[in-house]
């Protein structure tokens, strides 16, 4: 079967049969559980009865649907619950003990306040895996401080190396720290599940936005630790390689990324000036980086002879890494993106169509399909409680008392949006 075609049945996925209680909101935690859902896990998203996940109130909107929320909540069920009632906390504990994994991103200490201390839970269910994502870590002077993506981008040094100069630094255009925190959390959960198979015992795994941000600093952080040199922003140029960045052509800018000497010599020949490769000032990667401004000027004078897409085609044929700079309309019109079949369509509970980006992994060449549209708040409350073993009468009693709610999509999303002042 060609790569990325078809869809894997849920029962064939690696995490089929694994149940995850998702107490997270915003982005880092929901991104982690979306990845686990892609791999076959059953995700039950527990949300506050008072509006649910805060991102339900975040733009952009399609009608009453938050597309921000939709982007990271594929494949999940939603139950709306009163976290701070005794009955709600008893239900939370019951759901936790019926799960393989519990994941949360509360402020450190809140889980214990809810009666969900990981060690206490594991005393009753030794194999339970508990995962936690916080802003700055479970301990330390900032442990009780709220942490958001851009705060972590700033405090980790990431913004200091993103931009054109030290006076004009920028955040990355997506919440990259939230995303990496989610990825690292998913990795920790998977490692704990593997170890549980060997030992029968679960673990508490944790990370924070700040730790994730520092972890992805790689050579920039290492440069300072080893040399004391503070990295500076390089605009669209690679910090340590040249030519590697954005270059003007006859019409549009393109990316050229030379990573070794063969690519460098092939580039010189292709742009029509083989003498560049013999210039002693450009003889090594280190020298090319030191003379990057002069090198860029010389290359762009040669690149002006042809259009950007002409150059991209020529460089690709010569195996020189290159590509255009797309906006998102161009991204989804690209032949390779279409071939990868990254966009799947699902139907929401209200019958509306939702195109979603699938997860990035394929299993044996097959990309798992999105098994369920992002849920409305409380869309699955009844089903979740019935799976837990409650009778129809018990479920109705919880609904009547306000411990849980089963809300339709328009009411749930409308309430969340209004509550957030959106």
CATH number at residue 308: 3.30.1540.10
| Domain end residue (candidates: 310, 331, 352) | 331
252 and 348 inside one domain: no
Q: What is the number of structural domains in the chain?
A: 2
For residue 2, is it within any domain? no
For residue 229, is it within any domain? no
- Round the average pLDDT of the chain to a whole number and report it: 92
318 and 381 inside one domain: no
Question: What was the pLDDT predicted at 6?
Answer: 52
Give me Rg for the CA atoms of the chain. Answer: 25
pLDDT for residue 413 is more than 60? no
Listed range (87-101, 194-208, 225-239) with the worst mean pLDDT: 225-239
> What mean pLDDT comes out for the span 88-112?
96
For residue 250, is it within any domain? yes
For residue 168, is it within any domain? yes
Listed range (111-115, 281-285, 400-404, 410-414) with the worst mean pLDDT: 410-414
Question: What was the pLDDT predicted at 166?
Answer: 86
pLDDT for residue 411 is more than 60? no
pLDDT for residue 418 is more than 60? no
For residue 28, is it within any domain? yes
User: Which domain, by its residues, includes 70?
Assistant: 10-216+342-419
For residue 134, is it within any domain? yes
> 167: pLDDT confidence band, cut at 50, 70 and 90?
confident
pLDDT for residue 76 is more than 70? yes
34 and 164 inside one domain: yes
pLDDT for residue 420 is more than 70? no
pLDDT for residue 211 is more than 70? yes
| Domain end residue (candidates: 292, 309, 331) | 331
Question: What was the pLDDT predicted at 11?
Answer: 66
Give 235-290 pLDDT, tens digit per residue: 899 988 999 999 999 999 999 999 999 999 999 999 999 889 999 999 999 999 99
Residue 379 near residue 33 (C-beta atoms within 8 A): no
pLDDT for residue 72 is more than 90? yes
Q: What is the 3-state secondary structure (H, E, C) of the chain?
A: CCCCCCCCCHHHCCCCCCEEEECCCCCHHHHHHHHHHHCCCEEEEEEECCCCCHHHHCCCEECCEEHHHHCCCCCEEEEEECCCCHHHHHHHHHHHHCCCEEEECCCCCHHHHCCCCHHHHHHHCCCCEEEEEECCCCCCCCCCCCCCHHHHHHHCCCHHHCEEECCEECCCCCCHHHHHHHHHHHHHHHHHHHHHHHHCCCCEEEEEHHHHHHHCCHHHHHHHHHHCCCCCCCCCCCCCCCCEEEECCCCCCEEEECCCHHHHHHHHHHHCCHHHHHCHHHCCHHHHHHCHHHHHHHHHHHHCCCCHHHHHHHHHHCCCCEEECCCHHHHCCCHHHHHHCCEEEEECCCCCEEEEECCCCCECCECCCCCCCCCCCCCCHHHHHHHCCCCHHHHHHHHHHCCEECCCHHHHHHHHHHHCCC
| Domain end residue (candidates: 304, 331, 358) | 331
Give 330-360 pLDDT, tens digit per residue: 999 999 999 999 999 999 999 999 999 999 9
199 and 325 inside one domain: no
327 and 346 inside one domain: no
pLDDT for residue 21 is more than 50? yes
pLDDT for residue 95 is more than 60? yes
Give 151-165 pLDDT, tens digit per residue: 999 999 999 999 988
259 and 299 inside one domain: yes
414 and 283 inside one domain: no
Give 290-335 pLDDT, tens digit per residue: 999 999 999 999 999 999 999 999 999 999 999 999 999 999 999 9
pTM of the model: 0.90
> 415: pLDDT confidence band, cut at 50, 70 and 90?
very low
For residue 1, is it within any domain? no
191 and 59 inside one domain: yes
138 and 77 inside one domain: yes
Question: What was the pLDDT predicted at 281?
Answer: 92
137 and 170 inside one domain: yes
174 and 81 inside one domain: yes
> 12: pLDDT confidence band, cut at 50, 70 and 90?
confident
Residue 40 maps to which CATH number? 3.40.50.10540
Give 171-196 pLDDT, tens digit per residue: 999 999 999 999 999 999 999 999 99
For residue 238, is it within any domain? no
Question: What was the pLDDT predicted at 159?
Answer: 95
Q: Which residues are catalytic?
A: 178
Question: What was the pLDDT predicted at 30?
Answer: 98
388 and 308 inside one domain: no
> 382: pLDDT confidence band, cut at 50, 70 and 90?
very high
> 408: pLDDT confidence band, cut at 50, 70 and 90?
very low
> What mean pLDDT comes out for the span 203-213?
97
């Amino acid at each position: 079967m060609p790569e990325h075609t078809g869809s894997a049945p849920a029962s064939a996925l690696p995490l089929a049969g694994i149940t995850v209680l998702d107490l997270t909101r915003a982005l880092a935690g929901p991104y982690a559980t979306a990845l686990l859902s892609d791999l076959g896990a059953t995700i039950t998203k527990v949300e506050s009865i008072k509006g649910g996940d805060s991102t339900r109130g975040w733009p952009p909107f399609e009608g009453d649907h938050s597309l921000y929320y939709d982007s990271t909540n594929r494949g999940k069920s939603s139950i709306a619950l009163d976290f701070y009632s005794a009955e709600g906390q008893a239900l939370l504990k019951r759901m936790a003990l019926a799960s393989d994994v519990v994941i949360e991103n509360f402020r450190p200490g809140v889980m214990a306040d809810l009666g969900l201390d990981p060690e206490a839970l594991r005393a009753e269910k030794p194999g339970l895996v508990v995962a936690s994502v916080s802003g700055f870590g479970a301990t330390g002077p900032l442990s009780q401080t709220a942490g958001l993506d851009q705060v972590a981008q700033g405090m980790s040094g990431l913004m200091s190396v993103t931009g054109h100069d030290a006076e004009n630094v920028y955040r990355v255009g997506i919440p990259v720290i939230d995303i990496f925190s989610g990825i690292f959390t998913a990795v920790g959960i998977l490692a704990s599940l593997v170890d549980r198979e060997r030992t029968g015992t679960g673990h508490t795994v944790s990370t924070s936005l700040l730790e994730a941000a520092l972890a992805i600093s790689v050579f920039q952080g290492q440069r300072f630790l080893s040399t004391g040199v503070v990295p500076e922003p390089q605009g669209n140029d690679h910090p340590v390689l040249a030519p590697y960045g954005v270059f003007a052509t006859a019409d549009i800018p393109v990316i050229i990324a030379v990573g070794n000497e063969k690519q460098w010599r092939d580039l010189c020949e292709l742009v029509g000036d083989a003498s560049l490769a013999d210039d002693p000032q450009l003889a090594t990667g280190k020298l090319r980086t030191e003379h990057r401004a002069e090198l860029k000027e010389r290359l762009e004078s040669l690149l002006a002879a042809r259009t950007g897409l002409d150059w991209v085609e020529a460089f690709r044929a010569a195996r020189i890494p290159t590509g255009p700079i797309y906006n998102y309309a161009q991204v989804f019109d690209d032949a390779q993106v279409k071939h990868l079949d990254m966009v799947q369509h699902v139907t929401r509970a209200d019958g509306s169509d939702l195109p979603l980006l699938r997860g990035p992994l394929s299993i044996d060449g097959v990309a798992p399909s999105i098994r369920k549209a992002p849920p409305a708040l409380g869309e699955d409350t009844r089903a979740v409680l019935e799976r837990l073993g409650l009778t129809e009468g018990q479920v109705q009693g919880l609904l009547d008392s306000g411990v849980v709610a089963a809300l339709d999509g328009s009411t749930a999303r409308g309430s969340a949006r209004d509550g957030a002042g959106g």
